[in-house]
Amino acid sequence: MSSHWRRMDATAMGGSLIRWPTHLDSYGGCGTSVYVLWPEDEDVPMIVCSAGLDVHAVVTEEPVGPPCPWRHAFPDLGDPDIEVAQRSACLLGVPLLGTTGGSWALRDPKASADASMHDAFAGFWNAAESDSTRSALRTADVPSC
């Protein structure tokens, strides 16, 4: 990773709720944002300030990570009708945990150590529950697919 990108990744981070993977290779400045999607679960009683308030999110970027959690919040993801595909199910909230100007790449474990990141690219890093710095903000269990 170049010193330019290492500095950018280290200085552009916002929020202290995520452990950013600065040990991974930088993939430049396309940016990363980490949200918690809090789906409405009608089987669980909740006290809300406005029972009639519906929150919906719209995906404007390609989601990163395993598809199962995304499918729970965005059941029509992949539908050819873009209006339907990008709209979430009813959510109780979409808190932003942190954002940064950088993004990090995973290296293919089968790639040689001297291979360029372009040749060894195995996807982008995405936050998991273990990357949260505060246990109170751990996400709820996501139903299995």
In this prediction, residues 85-106 reach a mean pLDDT of 84
- % of the chain exceeding 90 in pLDDT: 3
Confidence label for 111 from pLDDT (cuts 50, 70 and 90): very high
Q: What is the mean pLDDT of the chain?
A: 75
Q: State whether 70 and 85 are in the same domain.
A: yes
Number of domains comprising the chain: 2
* 4-57 tens-digit pLDDT: 444 444 445 656 788 888 888 877 667 788 888 888 776 665 555 555 567 788
What pLDDT does residue 38 have?
80
What pLDDT does residue 108 have?
93
Q: State whether 83 and 103 are in the same domain.
A: no
Does 143 map to a domain? no
What pLDDT does residue 46 have?
57
Does 140 map to a domain? no
More confident residue, 134 or 4: 134
Q: State whether 50 and 64 are in the same domain.
A: yes
Does 90 map to a domain? yes
Does 10 map to a domain? yes
Helices (H) and strands (E) in the chain, counts: 4, 7
Structural domain containing residue 6 = 1-32+98-128
Nearest alpha-carbon partner for 143 in 46, 37, 54, 51: 37
User: Which residues make Cβ contacts (< 8 Å) with residue 27, sequence separation at least 6?
Assistant: 102, 103, 104, 105, 117, 121, 124
Q: State whether 53 and 76 are in the same domain.
A: yes
Q: What is the pTM of this model?
A: 0.69
Burial 70-79 (b: 16+ CB within 10 A, else e): bbbbbeebee
> Among 70, 94, 118, where does a domain finish?
94
Q: State whether 90 and 114 are in the same domain.
A: no
Q: State whether 27 and 51 are in the same domain.
A: no
What pLDDT does residue 86 have?
87
Does 112 map to a domain? yes
